[in-house]
Amino acid sequence: MSFPEHRPRRLRTTPAMRRLTAETRMAPAELILPVFIREGLTQPRPILSMPGVVQHTTETLRRAAAEAVSLGLGGIMLFGIPEVRDAVGSAALDPNGVLNKAIADVRAEVGDDLVIMSDVCLDEFTDHGHCGVLDSDGSVDNDSTVEIYAQMAVAQAEAGAHMLGPSGMMDGQITAIRKALDAGGHAETAVIAYSAKYASAFYGPFREAVDSQLKGDRRTYQMDAGNRREAIREVELDLAEGADIVMVKPAMSYLDILADVAAIAPVPVAAYQISGEYAMIEAAAANGWIDRRAAISESVLGIRRAGADMVLTYWATELATWLKEAR
């Protein structure tokens, strides 16, 4: 009887051996926590389609940011939900508006101990729910929208954001934002570009999270799910326009795209594990169909293995707690 000459199983024999030989690892500093703050709340409001996630008040947001620092998270991404919306998203430019005030509150709470990121997009602020202003035929007007993004970026930088996340997938948005920031004295404010953001069915719970007013879809500006090469074009354009970090969104259904981007990007690569990905695992775990902790850990590890240097995930705080416990 002949026996195998090579025995890879030797490196799987014990937990200690598997830790030693692991090719991909996770650390709290690689995790970014997306959070929602809603204007006018006196108590945090649970998001039913995302168990464990809430719309924050000012006080609970500040506590969440302080906890993120204590756990060693890399960053926090802020999304604001105003009480009043209009066709052009005016509340997004208000220095005292919900998002700009939240940025200032978090900066006052944590200073430079956490990278404070903020969403540069109009979808939460418009009464039609699109990521930009509409022209006379009801289509999103790319160039008019980009002008507003540039103003939003400056307002958010002045409020205290370290990094801005333009998520609207408008052509030329990175150039406009970078120029506005530099002209406004914010040359050190970084930009994390949502470079390859796909029109996905998995955004559903996010619509509840931000009380979206959208009717229809965003397929005229977000990418088609079948397109792979186009993602590289989008990334290359954002890099040429001055993006400091590039992102793929969603993550789990687009790991091939993430790997492609990681292979060519000379800057850090992020991936966003979105609301639908979160909701699916939570629902399956609630029904006893999967091991919740193992599935969460494996899902994020898979995103890291595909090439993400950092992962936006609603489990960031919980994952960081588990990683600290495992030390």
CB count within 10 Å of CB 280 equals 16
pLDDT at residue 217 in the model = 87
Q: Could you tell me the CA-to-CA distances from 194 to 36, 256, 297, 312, 322 in Å, in that order?
A: 18, 16, 24, 12, 28
Question: Domain for residue 100, yes or no?
Answer: yes
- CA torsion 141-92-86-140 (nearest 10°) is 10
* Catalytic residue (choose from 179, 197, 215, 324): 197
Question: Domain for residue 4, yes or no?
Answer: no
pLDDT at residue 26 in the model = 96
The whole domain housing 311 covers: 25-325
Question: Domain for residue 36, yes or no?
Answer: yes
pLDDT at residue 3 in the model = 83
Kindly give the confidence (pLDDT) of every residue in the chain, 327 residues in length, as a single tens digit, with 9 standing for 90 and above.
788 889 999 999 999 999 999 999 999 999 999 999 999 999 999 999 999 999 999 999 999 999 999 999 999 999 999 999 999 999 999 999 999 999 999 999 999 999 999 999 999 999 999 999 999 999 999 999 999 999 999 999 999 999 999 999 999 999 999 999 999 999 999 999 999 999 999 998 888 888 888 888 899 999 999 999 999 999 999 999 999 999 999 999 999 999 999 999 999 999 999 999 999 999 999 999 999 999 999 999 999 999 999 999 999 999 999 999 987
* Catalytic residue (choose from 101, 179, 215, 249): 249
State how many domains the chain has.
1
Tell me, yes or no, if 101 is annotated catalytic.
Answer: no
pLDDT at residue 158 in the model = 98
Question: Domain for residue 152, yes or no?
Answer: yes
The closest alpha carbon to 246, from 221, 225, 263, belongs to: 263
CB count within 10 Å of CB 267 equals 15
pLDDT at residue 73 in the model = 98
Global confidence as pTM: 0.96
Q: What's the N-to-C CA distance of the chain in angstroms?
A: 44
Q: Contacts from 52-57 at CB under 8 Å and sequence distance 24+?
A: 52/282, 52/314, 53/209, 53/278, 53/314, 55/81, 55/209
CATH of the domain at 76: 3.20.20.70
Question: Domain for residue 175, yes or no?
Answer: yes
Which three-class secondary structure state does DSSP give residue 139?
Answer: coil
Report the alpha-carbon distance of residue 296 to residue 285 in Å, rounded.
10
Q: Could you tell me the CA-to-CA distances from 289 to 202, 251, 274 in Å, in that order?
A: 20, 22, 21
Report the alpha-carbon distance of residue 117 to residue 124 in Å, rounded.
16
Question: Domain for residue 144, yes or no?
Answer: yes
Question: Domain for residue 3, yes or no?
Answer: no
Question: Domain for residue 76, yes or no?
Answer: yes
The closest alpha carbon to 198, from 273, 131, 249, belongs to: 249
